[in-house]
Amino acid sequence: MGLGKLSRLLFARVAARTAVSWDDDLVARLGGPLTVAWSLLIVTIAAPFLDFSIRVLSATQRGVRTGFILTFFWGLWRSIDVVRLAIAESRWIKDHASALSLVPLVARVSKVLVLVFVVVAMLSELGYSVASIVAGLGIGGLAVALAARSTLENLFGAFSLAADRPFREGDMVKIDDFVGQVESIGLRSTRIRTLDRTVISLPNGKLADMKLESLTARDRIRLACVVGLVYSTTAEQLRAVLAGFEAVLRAEPKLWPESVVVRFRELASSSLDIEIMAWFQTQDFGEFQGIRQEILLKFMEVVEQAGSSFAYPTRTVHLVPSGAPRAT
């Protein structure tokens, strides 16, 4: 008891000098295992000097070994809780919020593994064949894995999403042919609310292999369109429209000025096409829609002031009178 208390005091003084708090918690939780370990050590040292028979001495030594095994795994069990709390309060988990829900799961799985190792170690100490035990566990584990293949696939998919972090809860994402907001990332599936306010649940195993596009992660939003003018537009009018469009874009405060495209692209079948491409420094799509609306209205004013007009698809049909000779 005294040695255990002294060890805790020494370890506590060392832990108090560090900037982190998890080591203080670790020392506090390992108090019981340390006390038991010191007691077992004293018994180990004193046993040969006591007047025990060979049978009693052998049983005592086996009991001490068993006690050391249980004490070791007891301390390991308590250390798992300390690690779980340290990760949950760390700066890394704040930057990887989607992984927070997986921390308790990993802790539970680790404790199950500790229990398995305890059972194997105890059976080995009692004289059972470890090879047979491991083989039995392997066969049983394989049977469980085959029976729960889909569940395990989704579970590992959840771990993959947490590690890669392609999106977080609340992000707008585009997956295959639909767009929606991530509502929750569970252990089996991820729930996404679409623009039609429906909810789509995607298994994590399949989601980890799909093409994921995070719309929230973009740092700017692109405006890309083609404006067609009528063929009656003169070259001078076209130059005025090009200059006016670029002036409208560069007057927008949110414009990303390093790449603005306003170019006469081609002589199309029924219009003179102008290609327009620009980026705006906003992550809010609602704000971008307002910016786009104002820019398009100003484009209309530019075209009106230049004396031109927008084109629309047209087709010229030549009617040939019945019986008239055909051109060869």
What is the spatial distance between Cα 137 and Cα 133, in angstroms, rounded to a whole number? 6
Low-confidence ranges of the chain (pLDDT < 70): 1-9, 11-17, 19-24, 49-53, 56-57, 92-102, 104-105, 125-164, 187, 323-328
Alpha-carbon dihedral 79, 83, 88, 94, rounded to 10 degrees: 170
pLDDT of residue 147: 47
pLDDT of residue 7: 66
> Is CATH 3.30.70.100 the right assignment for the domain spanning 221-306?
yes
Task: Classify strands 199-203 and 221-229 as parallel, antiparallel or unpaired.
Answer: unpaired
pLDDT of residue 12: 66
Residue type, 22: W
Query: Is residue 67 within 8 Å of residue 127, measured between CB atoms?
Result: no
pLDDT of residue 134: 63
Per-residue pLDDT reduced to its tens digit, 45-57: 777 766 666 776 6
pLDDT of residue 247: 95
> Is CATH 2.30.30.60 the right assignment for the domain spanning 166-214?
yes
- Domain spans, the chain: 2-147, 166-214, 221-306
pLDDT of residue 211: 80
Pair of tokens at residue 323: 């019986």
pLDDT of residue 321: 76
Residue type, 154: N
What is the spatial distance between Cα 181 and Cα 198, in angstroms, rounded to a whole number? 10
pLDDT of residue 323: 64
pLDDT of residue 19: 64
Q: Which residues of 204-229 are buried (b: 16+ CB within 10 A; e: fewer)?
A: bbebbeeebebbeeeeebebeeebbb
Residue type, 203: P
